[in-house]
Amino acid sequence: MTDTAVASAYDDLTADLVATSGETVTVIAPFTGEPLVELPQSSETDVASAAEAAREAQVAWFAAGAAYRREVLLRGHDLLLERRRTLLDLNQLETGKTRAQAFEEVVQAANTARYVALTAPALLRPQRRKGVLPVVTRASVDYVPKGVIGIITPWNYPVSLAGMDVLPALAAGNAVVQKADNQAALSVLALRRAFVDAGVPEALWSVVAGPGDTVGNAVVDVSDYVCFTGSTATGRKVAERAARALHGASLELGGKNPIIVLDDADLEKAAAGVAFGAFSALGQLCVSMERVYVERGIADAFIPLLVERVKALHQGPALDYSTDVGSLTSAAQLERVEAHVSDAVSKGATVLAGGTRREDLGPFFYEPTVLTDVTPDMSCFAGETFGPVLSVYIVDDEDDAIRRANDSEYGLNASVFSRSLTRAHAVARQLDAGIVNLNEPYRAAFGSVDAPMGGMKASGLGRRNGPEGILRFVDTRTIGEATVLFQMPRTGREMEQLLPVVMTLLKTMRTLRLR
Ligand code: NAD
């Protein structure tokens, strides 16, 4: 399964981890169930020393200026594309996803690198702002990097998710200490290596690996701001810990993403879109869809088309573009998916497609599964499966679809299929979701690196992507100055004398609508 170039990359990459505990963890390759790598583990002391070195490196990185950082990040972009083959291999071998989905990760990271490199310098330039009253004072705003950003990433989309947090943090002049998930550390290290070879100082972006409740906690403690991507349950713990230290945090958490197929949709395109959106990375993607709401009038025509599309997905462990869906990433994921499906079936759900393991393909392969007759007492009704299980619901009309789509603790991604963009936009505006995709399940919004991405409700706090995704990494410092033209009143008498002038000024500004 592995070629020698990839295998020899393991040693080089694991040497880049800040990990001196002497312990290792055996990472299992999902395609085969065989050991992939013995991954060194970090200690809390490693996190502290990485943060100390990062803090030192950050001073010079910020002082080098925005234009310098721009050029380094653009060179990193180029190296990332040049080295994509090794990165794609590593990513597939660690996560079990297909080549196409691994390539989507590289595209997202490259887009982010280019965007933040070219956006941050102008966005973070000092700005003039209006003073208290014209002539009397002036104000300006500096954007100051927060310092050391702690970034905790999951195993499912290591390259794009690390890229979307680390690269804007660096572009804004910060250093990063990242805790990679053991299952996806090699991909993160390969991404980092491209940027280090492009000129990012080694100590400016450290990667550690280890258990969440020790190494993860230590990352939160040493950081000035925390980015966490993972489950809602862990996100709450991270948020509590960061809040105690009065550190800000952005949290990208779970979802139970709905897709609405309206009765004027192109049914062939909608079936292909739903099949793609539900089973990308075999459903192990935060923005993949787990619920589809179909208007009653088209249900009889649409559901068979969807089932046909899902059954036609080609599944397998190929390190090329020949498959449409791959493997689940771990035994724990397989267990969770099987539990959700057997719970649903035992309570009366009907399996329209899939519903079984594919041990003939590999130990963690599970078929893309479509269920109907799913009811609120089943664990897959409201709980995130994070796997290849899609529930189909027939709804009375558009309002019923919107109400049911919003009836969730989550609010990450949603999608609407309709031939009328006016109608689709109107529905989108009523959905509780941080991103909504029209006639596409997730890539239109998720991939728009100029537009913010994140969750409403229990799906998260804060945003990545867009100017919002860069501004979370800076503090503002407002500098106000009293002009020499006018002395601000210091005493009660001076204020009394100025009162008519101030009153006239306030009223004039209101009349002229001067902000
Ligand atoms: P997880 O919460 O178990 O782990 C995520 C990361 O947090 C891992 O690196 C883990 O080691 C670390 N961690 C665990 N406990 C910690 C603690 N107490 N303190 C600090 N760090 C800790 O999530 P997972 O199972 O790896 O990922 C799947 C989940 O992530 C799903 O719920 C999925 O929806 C979500 N996710 C969300 C997004 C998004 O952008 N919203 C993206 C990808 C995944």
Distance CA 17, CA 47 (A): 11
455 lines ligand 1 (CB under 6 A): yes
Residue-range domain boundaries for the chain: 3-253+466-474, 257-448, 485-515
Ligand 1 pocket, 227 CB below 6 A? no
Over residues 293-322, the mean pLDDT reads 98
Which residue's C-alpha comes closest to atom 43 of ligand 1? Answer: 286
Q: How far is CA 193 from the centre of its chain?
A: 21
- The protein residue whose alpha carbon is closest to atom 17 in ligand 1 is 212
Reported pTM: 0.97
Residues 6 or more apart in contact with residue 50 via CB below 8 angstroms: 18, 177, 203, 206, 208, 222
Point out the least confidently predicted range of 1-5, 110-114, 120-124, 395-399. 1-5
Beta carbons of 371 and 344 less than 8 angstroms apart: yes
Query: What pLDDT is recorded for position 3?
Result: 58
Residue having the nearest C-alpha atom to atom 34 of ligand 1: 254
pLDDT (tens digit, 9 = 90+) per residue, 443-496?
A: 999 999 999 999 999 999 999 999 999 999 999 999 999 887 778 889 999 999
Neighbouring C-alpha atoms within 13 Å toward the C-beta of 424: 23
* SS3 assignment, position 151: strand
What's the mean pLDDT when you consider all of the chain?
96
**Cβ(108) to ligand 1 under 6 A?**
no
pLDDT above 60: residue 274? yes
pLDDT number for residue 350: 98
User: How much helix, strand and coil, in percent to the nearest 5, is found in the chain?
Assistant: 45, 20, 30
Q: How far is the CA of 185 from the centre of ligand 1 (A)?
A: 14
Ligand 1 nearest atom to the CA of residue 157, by list position: 43
The pLDDT tens digits for 149-161 are 999 999 999 999 9
Q: What angle do CA 444, 450, 451 make, to 5 degrees?
A: 65
Residue type, 93: L
Answer whether 3-253+466-474 and 257-448 agree in fold: no
DSSP assignment letter at 295: E
pLDDT at 2: 53
> Between the CA of residue 408 and those of 93, 138, 457, what are the distances in Å?
34, 48, 9
Q: Is the CB–ligand 1 distance for residue 434 below 6 Å? A: no
Confidence of residue 5 (pLDDT cuts 50, 70, 90): low
The pLDDT value given to residue 393: 98
Q: Is 1's pLDDT higher than 60?
A: no
Question: Using an 8 Å Cβ cutoff, are 160 and 252 in contact?
Answer: no
8 Å CB contact between 146 and 247: no
Question: Architecture of 257-448 per CATH?
Answer: 3-Layer(aba) Sandwich (3.40)
DSSP-assigned states of every residue in 380-422: HHHS---SSEEEEEEESSHHHHHHHHH-SSEESEEEEE-S-HH
What's the residue count for the chain?
515
CA distance 100 to 322: 9
Q: Provide the sign of the torsion angle of the four alpha carbons 48, 210, 57, 160, taken in this order.
A: negative
First and final C-alpha spacing in the chain? 64
Ligand 1 midpoint to CA 45 (Å): 22
Confidence of residue 515 (pLDDT cuts 50, 70, 90): confident
* Three-class SS state of 336: helix
Question: Residue 136: which pLDDT band, with cuts at 50, 70 and 90?
Answer: confident
With residue 258 as reference, give the H or E element that holds it: strand 257-261
CB 217 near ligand 1, within 6 Å = yes
441: buried, middle or exposed (CB in 10 Å: 19+, 13-18, 0-12)?
A: buried
CA 251–ligand 1 middle distance (angstroms): 10
Residue with CA closest to ligand 1 atom 14: 212
Mutate to test the pocket of ligand 1, among 112, 153, 156, 465 (most ligand atoms within 8 A of CB): 156
Residues acting as catalytic residues: 252
- Of 384, 380, 438, 443, the closest CA to residue 259 belongs to 438
Please say if the pLDDT value at position 388 is more than 70: yes
pLDDT value of position 63: 98
Supply the pLDDT for residue 149. Answer: 98
Q: If you take atom 20 of ligand 1, which residue's CA is the nearest one?
A: 216
CA dihedral (369, 371, 377, 382) positive or negative: positive
CB of 209 closer than 6 angstroms to any ligand 1 atom: no
Round to whole Å and give the CA distance between 277 and 381: 18
* pLDDT tens per residue across span 391-403: 999 999 999 999 9
> Which CATH architecture group holds 3-253+466-474?
3-Layer(aba) Sandwich (3.40)
